[in-house]
């Protein structure tokens, strides 16, 4: 079937390109280590500020999207990414990090709202048997942004490896992120979107501020959300270690960009490969979840084992005065392969997490809140991790923390997987209060009253 504007897949692809241009560029910038600066302290402090506000607005993001809709919330949120990238130009010229840290805090607000809207679209628009595929389509497009963002510093700094990214790279990021913000306006009102079987993606009741506040509070006593909490907390914790202590500490600037091309490329491969399992009708949903859990478990233990081996090779803390260039194959091959495998593991982890959440319900409003909770608790872990980097906690201790946190998340992750039902509650049959739900009118937002 060809793509139509109001088709659910078309909308997932559009939001994928928004994230390609906004968080995709942010990921590329972050992946260079320290926001592309020789000294990562400013970038680490900015990320701490970012994830601190992200904690709050991640949790609140689902309610905000339910109240105001997806188009304008994504549009406004996109510009916070451009502000953050642009702040590094000021840092380049003044050496003062205050603006970058403030821009990080503002980005946390925008990112929390944007990701709640994105997650709601990605996991509630497809049919149950298509959720793994839609997650993969999104993840491929989104991480293509990281690939392109890796090409920029690699190409621009190829013959001028100064240690920090040039103004030209940051300006390119700002332009692309502004384009992503405007692309948010291209999204269709959810009330008009249909699945490929002709069903509406939106069949929920109207909401208001009081209801949203109450439903957000309920998340913190929901056994399934509490079961996912360790997984949420861990799911971005490892970025500080991977970006700063492997890519940022071991490699020169152009090689960091080179590495990110393959890091984010591996994310595309990982999400696509896992989708074949997550949507495989030959297995029950619970069995698919258990197998995917096993894959994630093995992959991350291999990654952390490889990281320990790398640490033992560079026991001084992975900080090299003679940084590795990609052309020095004898030194570069092993660390680059490990870094690329980190990207593959991240895609497996994130795709699996989104699939679990999508398997818990088909309700747009409920899934917006679930995704918001996931992103909020994820950012809580991220804020702590980036501050560990800013405080120069030893690389070995950061590695141990990552491995231990993953181990802690395993039992509760398996508990939630074991609770997955073969079919989520059909939309339109019953809601939390037991009443029958109603379809949207022509309003865009999930929370706008008629």
pTM to 2 decimal places: 0.83
Tell me the three state secondary structure of residue 284: coil
Q: Answer whether residue 328 is part of any domain.
A: yes
CA distance 37 to 15: 30
- The per-residue pLDDT of the chain, averaged, comes to 85
Question: What pLDDT, in 10s, does the model give residues 38-77?
Answer: 566 777 888 889 988 999 998 998 889 888 888 999 999 9
pLDDT value of position 136:
94
Q: Which residues contact 434 (CB under 8 A, 6 or more apart)?
A: none
- Domain-embedded: residue 435: no
pLDDT tens readout for residues 277-331: 999 989 999 999 999 999 999 999 999 999 999 988 876 655 566 788 888 888 8
Mind listing the pLDDT tens digit for each residue in 326-345? 888 888 899 999 999 999 99
pLDDT (average), residues 202-223:
80
| DSSP type of residue 170 | H
Q: CA dist 349 to 296, 308, 352, Å?
A: 6, 20, 5
**Angle in degrees, CA 150, 153, 155, rounded to 5:** 100
Q: Each residue of 137-168: pLDDT tens digit?
A: 999 999 888 888 778 767 776 776 555 667 88
Query: What's residue 439's pLDDT?
Result: 34
Q: Is the residue at 356 inside a domain?
A: yes
Distance CA 403, CA 150 (A): 27
Low-confidence winner among 14-23, 178-187, 287-296, 387-396 (lowest mean pLDDT) = 387-396
Which residue do the tokens 């990112």 mark?
Answer: 111
Around Cβ 133, how many Cβ atoms within 10 Å? 18
Q: How far is CA 2 from CA 16, 35, 190, 291, 298, in A?
A: 18, 40, 20, 33, 38
* 426 is a domain residue: no
Is residue 197 situated within a structural domain?
Answer: yes
Q: Which of 229-233, 281-285, 337-341, 441-445 has the lowest mean pLDDT?
A: 441-445
| Reported confidence tier of residue 445, pLDDT bands at 50, 70, 90 | very low
CATH (domain of 226): 1.20.1250.20
State which residues form the domain around 69: 8-418
Query: How many domains does the chain divide into?
Result: 1
Q: Percent of the chain at pLDDT above 70?
A: 86
Alpha-carbon gap, residue 395 to 190, rounded angstroms: 46
Give me the pLDDT at residue 201, please. 79
397: CB partners within 8 A, 6+ apart:
388
Is residue 222 situated within a structural domain?
yes
Q: How many CB atoms lie within 10 A of CB 9?
A: 19
Name residue, tokens 């090779």: 313
Answer left, alpha or beta for residue 62, where phi above 0 means left and psi between -120 and 50 means alpha. Answer: alpha
pLDDT for the residue 157: 67
State residue 349's pLDDT score: 95
Enumerate residues 6+ apart whose C-beta is below 8 A from 297: 410
For 66-98, the pLDDT digits (tens) are 888 889 999 999 999 999 999 988 888 888 889
- Round to whole Å and give the CA distance between 349 and 347: 5
Check pLDDT > 60 for residue 440.
Answer: no
Predicted pLDDT at 447: 38
Distance CA 44, CA 30 (A): 9
Helix (H, G, I), strand (E, B) or coil at 7: strand
Mean pLDDT of 178-186: 95
Domain annotation covers residue 350: yes
Q: How far apart are CA 420 and CA 211, in angstroms?
A: 26
CA distance 440 to 427: 13
User: For residue 319, is it within any domain?
Assistant: yes
For residue range 246-255, list pLDDT tens digits in order: 888 888 878 8
What confidence score (pLDDT) does residue 40 get? 66
- CA–CA separation, 206 vs 338, rounded Å? 48
Rounded to whole angstroms, the Cα distance separating 355 from 289 reads: 9
Assess whether pLDDT exceeds 70 at residue 204.
no
DSSP state for residue 185 in the 8-state scheme: G
| H or E, element range at 173 | helix 167-183
Nearest CA among 35, 66, 72 for reference residue 50: 35
Per the model's pLDDT, the better-predicted residue between 181 and 361 turns out to be: 181
Report CA-CA distances (Å) from 200 to 194, 221, 449. 4, 31, 19
Q: Which residues contact 410 (CB under 8 A, 6 or more apart)?
A: 297
């Amino acid at each position: 079937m060809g793509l139509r504007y109001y088709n659910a897949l078309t909308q997932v692809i559009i939001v994928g390109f928004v994230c390609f241009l906004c968080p995709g560029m942010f990921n590329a910038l972050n992946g260079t280590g320290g926001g592309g600066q020789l000294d990562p302290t400013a970038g680490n402090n900015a990320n701490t500020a970012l994830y601190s506000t992200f904690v709050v607005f991640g949790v609140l993001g689902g309610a905000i999207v339910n109240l105001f809709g997806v188009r304008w919330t994504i549009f406004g949120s996109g510009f916070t990414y451009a502000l953050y990238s642009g702040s590094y130009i000021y840092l380049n010229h003044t050496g003062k990090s205050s603006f970058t840290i403030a821009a990080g805090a503002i980005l946390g607000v925008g990112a929390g709202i944007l990701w709640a809207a994105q997650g709601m679209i990605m996991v509630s628009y497809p049919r149950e048997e298509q959720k793994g595929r839609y997650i993969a389509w999104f993840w491929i497009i989104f991480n293509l942004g990281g690939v392109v963002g890796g090409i920029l510093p690699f190409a621009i700094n190829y013959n001028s490896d100064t240690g920090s990214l040039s103004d030209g790279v940051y300006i390119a990021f700002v332009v692309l992120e502004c384009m992503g913000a405007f692309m948010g306006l291209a999204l269709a009102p959810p009330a008009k979107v249909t699945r490929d079987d002709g069903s509406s993606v939106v069949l929920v009741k109207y909401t208001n501020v009081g209801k949203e506040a109450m439903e957000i509070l309920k998340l913190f006593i929901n056994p399934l959300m509490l079961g996912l909490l360790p997984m949420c907390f861990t799911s971005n914790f490892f970025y500080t270690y991977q970006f700063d202590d492997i890519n940022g500490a071991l490699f020169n600037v152009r090689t960091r960009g080179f590495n990110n091309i393959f890091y984010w490329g591996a994310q595309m491969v990982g999400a696509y490969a896992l989708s074949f399992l997550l949507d495989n009708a030959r297995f029950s949903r619970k069995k698919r979840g258990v197998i995917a859990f096993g894959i994630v478990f093995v992959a991350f233990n291999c990654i952390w084992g490889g990281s320990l081996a790398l640490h033992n090779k560079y026991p001084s803390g992975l900080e090299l005065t003679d940084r590795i260039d990609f052309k020095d194959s004898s030194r570069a091959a092993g660390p680059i392969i490990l870094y690329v495998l980190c990207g593959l593991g991240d895609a497996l982890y994130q795709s699996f997490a989104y699939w679990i959440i999508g398997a818990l319900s088909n309700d747009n409003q409920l899934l917006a809140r679930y995704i918001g909770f996931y992103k909020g608790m994820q950012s809580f872990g991220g804020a702590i991790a980036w501050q560990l980097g800013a405080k120069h906690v030893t690389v070995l201790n950061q590695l141990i923390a990552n491995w231990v946190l993953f181990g802690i998340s395993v039992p509760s992750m398996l508990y939630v997987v074991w609770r997955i039902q073969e079919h989520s509650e059909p939309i339109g049959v019953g809601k939390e209060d037991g009443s029958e739900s109603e379809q949207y009118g022509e309003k865009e937002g999930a929370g706008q009253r008629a």
